[in-house]
């Protein structure tokens, strides 16, 4: 019998959508009991949100001052202590989960499965490697805890409407003081979050400058989209790093992805291959982005994008 | 600080389009160009800069794998590392075992800082640094885009999904590096010659006495299901019509 513990991701105020996606993944394990743990300083609101996720049997809260903001070295020993009661511990393959989960796995003395994209059995899974150029089937040992991150772009968030019980847990764990939070700088943007957005407008090196990215922003704002970018655009300093989509940036699955002036290196494609519809606008008709796009338009982005912005809405 | 350890993983080169073997037992590596994992090069560059600023006295590069990984270690020495350690292992090594190997070498070398790539571009795991920090009971600062030192602490800026997070950590510690931390130097020919004389020690994995980790078995490899090439439109009107047709605008 599988009992899955999902680590909630949140910012102290609201639950990140990655949590309901991890629950959706856990629900693929036949007959699994799914529980969510929320670690923070004061998490009643976040726990209530987690209790609404369909498929969750119970929400466990661990509240202590040191848990806010989340620091992997501080959360990991608490998660590892709680994990004793579970067969599986799942977290999202976001920066939060990627940072935390291997630390938990090592404390439990197990290897971790990164980026589950499908569940084949309680201990068998599929995951992408080589920037998504290969998919490997893996089998975890049945006699130790399965610690894994869930490739959230592969899952649709589990529905709401549930009302699971919420209980607080007292965990005995040594909390280190060697790691201290200093600050979080977030882009002061009213635009949707890249991970959660249904629509993403993404720009590449062909934009040519930070100023020219204004074209991308205008189109995005017209259709309520989040901003994405290629590594080349980030490296050139046109856009901040948190916008980067791809193997080493964010892996996303919006309903609509519009790639503008992005040639489509394999490392970029791997970040968008689960998107609903991919639109590519590029002046080079040989650009590899057209191999994977649902709708392609060859031409000069500097005339097409303003025209498209005007035509929409 | 005295010593910085840097991990260099031998991986299929960044520019190679990886193919799955037709029998599904792995990916094709025969005759394929192998290189240092790009993130590990950034890790080494950072260690070298720390040493060049006078904040460290020795940079040691480590690889775990077959004797072929000596190539990557020699490249690391040519970049400027002082010496190299090859932990020889015939089979591919899982992340937990790699973390245990590093911990054994930390104890042997009495290292103050370990800098690793945030992930290897072959297995895309992103685990080793975090695991090592856990086993060592020390701080981890993952996905670093800026690192500064002040006495026995470091300030590390990390690339997270919502922006840039800064942590202050006590040394010793593990840092894993992201793309934007630095641009690795090119190796010059005289440095390659000099690197041949630098020490490269080989230690059989068995000699380190690390505990065997529970193994995750890789049972089958397949190419990904590709996306189909869609339609091309001629102008913005055609694009808008296609989007409307799909109910997207």
CB atoms inside a 10 Å sphere around CB A108:
23
- Has residue B51 got a pLDDT over 80? yes
Q: What is the mean pLDDT of residues B74-84?
A: 98
Task: Name the β-bridge partners of B204.
Answer: B88
Going B42 to B43 to B48 to B54, the CA torsion angle's sign is: positive
Interchain proximity B164–A138, CB inside 8 Å: no
Alpha helices in A27-149 (DSSP H): 44-51, 72-82, 95-108
Q: Model confidence at B227, in pLDDT bands (50, 70, 90)?
A: confident
Residues of A in contact with B170 (CB under 8 A): 178-179
Interchain proximity B159–A235, CB inside 8 Å: no
Residue A51 and residue A45: Cα distance in Å, rounded?
A: 10
Q: Model confidence at A293, in pLDDT bands (50, 70, 90)?
A: very high
Interchain proximity A129–B230, CB inside 8 Å: no
Residue A159 and residue A220: Cα distance in Å, rounded?
A: 27
Per-residue burial over A31-67, b if 16 or more Cβ lie within 10 Å, else e, is: ebbbbbbbbbeebeebbebbbbbbbbeebbbbbbeeb
Burial class (CB in 10 A: 0-12, 13-18, 19+), B109: middle
How long is chain A? 313
In a domain, B231, yes or no: no
Mutate to test the interface with B, among A87, A95, A116, A130 (most CBs of B within 10 A): A130
Query: Which residue of chain A comes nearest to B145, CA vs CA?
Result: A241
| Interface contacts (A, B; CB < 8 Å) | 261
Q: Model confidence at A187, in pLDDT bands (50, 70, 90)?
A: confident
Residue A97 and residue B161: Cα distance in Å, rounded?
A: 11
Residues of A in contact with B118 (CB under 8 A): 248
Of the candidates A182, A179, A175, the one whose C-alpha atom is nearest the C-alpha of residue A62 is: A175
What would the pLDDT profile of A64-74 be if each residue is shown by its tens digit? 999 999 999 99
Mean residue pLDDT of chain B comes to 95
Residue A113 and residue A4: Cα distance in Å, rounded?
A: 14
How long is chain B? 249
| B221, two tokens | 């490899």
Report phi then psi at B23, rounded to 5: -90, 5
What would the pLDDT profile of A71-122 be if each residue is shown by its tens digit? 999 999 999 999 999 999 999 999 999 999 999 999 999 999 999 999 999 9
Q: Model confidence at B228, in pLDDT bands (50, 70, 90)?
A: confident
Of the candidates B203, B246, B211, the one whose C-alpha atom is nearest the C-alpha of residue B60 is: B203
| B146, two tokens | 């800026």
- The confidence score (pLDDT) of residue A113 equals 98
Q: What is the C-alpha R_g of chain A?
A: 21
Of the candidates A261, A262, A264, A284, the one whose C-alpha atom is nearest the C-alpha of residue A273 is: A264
Q: Model confidence at A163, in pLDDT bands (50, 70, 90)?
A: very high
Interchain proximity A128–B246, CB inside 8 Å: no
> Of the CATH numbers 3.40.50.300, 3.40.50.1220, 3.40.50.720, 3.40.50.80, which one belongs to the domain with range A199-311?
3.40.50.1220
- Using an 8 Å Cβ cutoff, are A12 and A140 in contact? no
Report phi then psi at B220, rounded to 5: -155, 140
- The confidence score (pLDDT) of residue A275 equals 93
Q: Does B27 touch chain A (CB under 8 A)?
A: yes
Q: Model confidence at B205, in pLDDT bands (50, 70, 90)?
A: very high
Q: What is the mean pLDDT of residues A190-216?
A: 94
In a domain, B243, yes or no: no
Has this prediction a pTM greater than 0.90? yes
Q: What is the mean pLDDT of residues A203-221?
A: 97
- The confidence score (pLDDT) of residue A188 equals 62
Nearest-by-Cβ selection for B20 from A73, A134, A291: A134
- Using an 8 Å Cβ cutoff, are A291 and A270 in contact? no
Mutate to test the interface with A, among B138, B218, B236 (most CBs of A within 10 A): B236
Q: Domain total for chain B?
A: 1
What would the pLDDT profile of B142-187 be if each residue is shown by its tens digit? 999 999 999 999 999 999 998 999 999 999 999 999 998 999 999 9
Task: Name the β-bridge partners of B60.
Answer: B5, B83
Residues of each domain in chain A carrying CATH 3.40.50.1220 = 199-311
User: CA–CA distance from B17 to each of A285, B25, B28 (Å)?
Assistant: 21, 17, 10
Domain that holds residue B58: 3-224
- The confidence score (pLDDT) of residue B36 equals 97
In a domain, B25, yes or no: yes
Task: Name the β-bridge partners of A273.
Answer: none
CATH architecture of A3-168: 3-Layer(aba) Sandwich (3.40)
Burial class (CB in 10 A: 0-12, 13-18, 19+), B61: buried
Q: Strand (E) positions, chain A?
A: 3-7, 33-40, 56-63, 88-92, 112-116, 118-119, 124-129, 134-139, 146-150, 165-168, 179-186, 199-203, 226-229, 256-260, 277-282, 295-298
Interchain proximity B96–A138, CB inside 8 Å: no
Q: In what order do the strands lie in the sheet with B217-222?
A: A118-119, A124-129, A134-139, B217-222
- The confidence score (pLDDT) of residue A110 equals 97
Q: Model confidence at B44, in pLDDT bands (50, 70, 90)?
A: very high
Residue B182 and residue B41: Cα distance in Å, rounded?
A: 10
- The confidence score (pLDDT) of residue B70 equals 97
CA distance A119 to chain B (A): 14
Residue B23 and residue B33: Cα distance in Å, rounded?
A: 21
Q: What is the mean pLDDT of residues B102-126?
A: 97
- The confidence score (pLDDT) of residue A190 equals 78
| A168, two tokens | 């607080």
Q: In what order do the strands lie in the sheet with A146-150?
A: A112-116, A146-150, A88-92, A3-7, A33-40, A56-63, A165-168
- The confidence score (pLDDT) of residue B249 equals 84
In a domain, B106, yes or no: yes
The proportion of chain A whose per-residue pLDDT surpasses 90, expressed as a percent, equals 93
What CATH number has the domain bearing residue B75?
Answer: 3.40.50.620
What would the pLDDT profile of A9-45 be if each residue is shown by its tens digit? 999 999 999 999 999 999 999 999 999 999 999 999 9
Residues of each domain in chain A carrying CATH 3.40.50.620 = 3-168
Residue A240 and residue A237: Cα distance in Å, rounded?
A: 7
Residue A19 and residue A184: Cα distance in Å, rounded?
A: 21
Q: Does B32 touch chain A (CB under 8 A)?
A: no
Residue A253 and residue B19: Cα distance in Å, rounded?
A: 24
User: CA–CA distance from A132 to each of A115, A153, A269, B178, B231 (Å)?
Assistant: 11, 13, 9, 19, 24
CB atoms inside a 10 Å sphere around CB B223:
15
């Amino acid at each position: 019998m599988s009992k899955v513990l999902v680590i909630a991701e949140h910012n102290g105020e609201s639950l990140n959508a990655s949590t309901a996606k991890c629950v959706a993944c856990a629900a693929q394990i036949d007959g699994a009991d799914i529980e969510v743990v929320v670690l923070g300083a004061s998490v009643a609101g976040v726990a209530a949100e987690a209790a609404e996720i369909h498929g969750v049997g119970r929400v466990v809260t661990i509240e202590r001052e040191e848990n806010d903001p989340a620091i992997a070295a501080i959360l990991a020993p608490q998660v590892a202590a709680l994990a004793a009661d579970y067969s599986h511990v799942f977290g999202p393959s976001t920066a939060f989960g990627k940072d935390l989960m291997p630390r938990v796995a090592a404390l439990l003395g197990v290897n971790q499965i990164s980026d589950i994209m499908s569940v084949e059995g309680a201990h068998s899974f599929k995951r992408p490697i080589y920037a998504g150029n290969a998919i490997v089937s893996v089998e975890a040992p049945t006699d130790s805890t399965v610690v894994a991150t869930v490739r959230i772009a592969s899952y649709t968030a589990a529905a709401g409407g549930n009302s699971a019980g919420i209980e607080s847990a007292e965990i005995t764990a040594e909390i280190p003081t060697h790691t201290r939070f200093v600050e979080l700088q977030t882009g002061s943007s009213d635009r949707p979050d890249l991970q959660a957005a249904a629509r993403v407008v993404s720009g590449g090196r062909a934009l040519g400058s930070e100023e020219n990215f204004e074209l991308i922003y205008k189109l995005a704002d017209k259709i309520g989209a989040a901003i994405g970018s290629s590594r080349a655009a980030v490296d050139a300093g046109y856009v901040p790093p948190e916008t980067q989509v791809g193997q080493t940036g964010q892996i996303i699955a919006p309903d609509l992805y519009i790639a503008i002036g992005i040639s489509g290196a394999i490392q970029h494609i791997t970040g968008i291959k689960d998107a609903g519809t991919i639109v590519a606008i590029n002046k080079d008709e040989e650009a590899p982005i057209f191999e994977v796009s649902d709708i392609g338009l060859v031409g000069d982005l500097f005339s097409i994008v303003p025209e498209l912005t005007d035509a929409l809405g | 600080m005295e010593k910085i350890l840097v991990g260099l993983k031998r991986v299929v080169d960044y520019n190679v389009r990886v193919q799955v073997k037709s029998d599904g037992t792995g990916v094709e590596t025969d005759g394929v160009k192998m290189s240092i994992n790009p993130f590990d090069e950034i890790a080494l560059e950072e260690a070298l800069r720390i040493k060049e600023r006078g904040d460290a006295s020795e940079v040691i590069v480590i690889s775990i794998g077959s004797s072929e990984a000596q190539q990557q270690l020699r490249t690391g020495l040519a970049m400027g590392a002082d010496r190299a350690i090859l932990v020889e292992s015939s089979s591919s090594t899982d992340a937990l075992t790699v973390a245990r190997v590093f911990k054994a070498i930390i104890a042997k070398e009495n290292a103050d800082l370990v800098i690793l790539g945030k992930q290897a571009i072959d297995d895309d795991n992103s685990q080793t640094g975090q695991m090592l920090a856990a086993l060592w009971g020390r701080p981890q600062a993952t996905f670093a885009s800026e690192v500064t030192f002040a006495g026995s602490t470091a300030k590390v800026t990390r690339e997270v999904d919502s922006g840039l997070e800064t942590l202050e950590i006590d040394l010793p510690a593990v840092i894993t590096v992201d793309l934007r931390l630095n641009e690795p130097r090119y190796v010059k020919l005289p440095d390659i010659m000099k690197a041949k004389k630098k020490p490269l020690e080989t230690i059989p994995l068995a000699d380190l006495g690390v505990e065997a980790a529970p193994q995750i078995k890789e049972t089958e490899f397949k190419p990904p299901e590709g996306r189909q090439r869609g339609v091309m439109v001629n102008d913005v009107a055609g694009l808008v019509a296609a989007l409307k047709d799909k109910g997207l605008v």
